[in-house]
Amino acid sequence: MELTLNKLTKQYRDKTAVDSLSVTLTPGIYGLLGANGAGKTTLMRMVCGILNPTSGNVLLDGKDTISMGESYRDLLGYLPQNFGYYPVFTAIDYLLYVAALKGLTASAAKVRANELLELVSLQTVSRKRIKTFSGGMKRRLGIAQALLNDPRILVLDEPTAGLDPKERVHFRNLISDISKDKIVILSTHIVSDVEYIADQILIMKAGRLVHQGKPDEITASINGYVWECKADPKQSEQLNDRYIVSNLKHEGNQDMLRIVSKQKPYENAVQVEPTLEDLYLYYFSEQFGENELPDKNQIL
């Protein structure tokens, strides 16, 4: 199975949300990273067919997904960033409704809905109205509906928003379990959601795909750019103003800083192994242009 995004572009009046993006996806988990406004949601909507591209197309095994119609949608599972639901429905009502639209038979729908409610720990509240749910519970219900038809292509837009750490771990494990032979596209701001489970990371910036690769490969691209150092609070403040600081921890009367910089930022700074979060900050710091680090090489 191969999902090809072929020069996908979405142009609005005053903005290009997705700019001639091309990528081919095969079964695996793809973490889509990008700042707010990078175009991730627009891209996902075009993949799901609920937003028409201005130009370009989405092909599944060479066939245009728009012309495939129902047969493409039969393979899809989608959780949007803002999960809209019917407030008067109970959780089980909602899943049965969506299951019917996904083409499951009545008996299969019942079994599958109950299975998924158990999986996302909503079994005990299955007969309660969705409007009484907390944000996290709604999110879990959203994940459940996306999995109803055991989709071959799973598109999840910020799936862990509102989930506590335990729930996020549970979700990560769930995705890992079900992702065999599936294309899973998972967009998030929470780097740890994808760091350990994604086969490939796609980094989007200003509507373009700026980097693609395995997590360890792409973090290797900033090998030598990540430093740790100790500084007094006054110096720490200055370093914070000048450099990308991915972590700052107060230790007694000193601060421990983790800095992303091409040059050594401080005399006692030591190089450390970069993480995906460092890479994210490297790409998305507002201070810098595309892939650039500050020109200030002054070592304090």
- Sheet-wide strand order for 226-231: 244-251, 254-260, 226-231, 270-271
3-state secondary structure of 129: strand
Question: Measured from the CB of residue 8, what is the shortest distance to another protein in angstroms?
Answer: 15
With respect to another protein, which residue has the nearer C-beta, 151 or 274?
151
Q: Which residues contact 47 (CB under 8 A, 6 or more apart)?
A: 3, 5, 58, 153, 155, 185
Give the nearer residue to another protein in terms of CB position, either 24 or 105: 105
- Give dist(CA 276, CA 143) in Å, integer: 25
Structure tokens at 41: 């949601």
Q: How far is CA 292 from CA 169, 207, 279, in A?
A: 33, 18, 12
Minimum distance from CB of 29 to another protein (Å)?
A: 19
Distance in Å, CB of 100 to another protein, minimum:
5
Report, in Å, the least distance between residue 293 CB and another protein.
37
By beta-carbon proximity to another protein, the closer residue of 107 and 298 is 107
Specify the residue, 52 or 268, whose C-beta has the smaller distance to another protein. 52
Q: How far is the CB of 177 from another protein (least distance, A)?
A: 22
> Scanning the structure block, which residue is given the tokens 């995906």?
276
The least CB distance from residue 267 to another protein, in Å, is 53
Report in angstroms the alpha-carbon separations of 270 from 66, 147, 227, 257, 285. Answer: 52, 45, 5, 11, 22
Distance between CA atoms of residues 107 and 88, nearest Å: 23
To which H or E segment does residue 39 belong?
none
Q: Smaller CB distance to another protein: residue 149 or 246? A: 149
Q: Which residues bind another protein (CB under 8 A)?
A: 45, 48-52, 69-70, 73-74, 76-80, 82-86, 88-89, 93, 96-98, 100-103, 106, 142, 145-146, 149
* Nearest residue (CB) to another protein, 146 versus 201: 146
Q: How far is the CB of 79 from another protein (least distance, A)?
A: 8
Going by their DSSP bridges, the two strands 16-25 and 3-11 should be labelled as antiparallel
Residue among 36 and 253 whose Cβ is closer to another protein: 36
CA angle 65, 70, 71 (to 5 degrees): 70
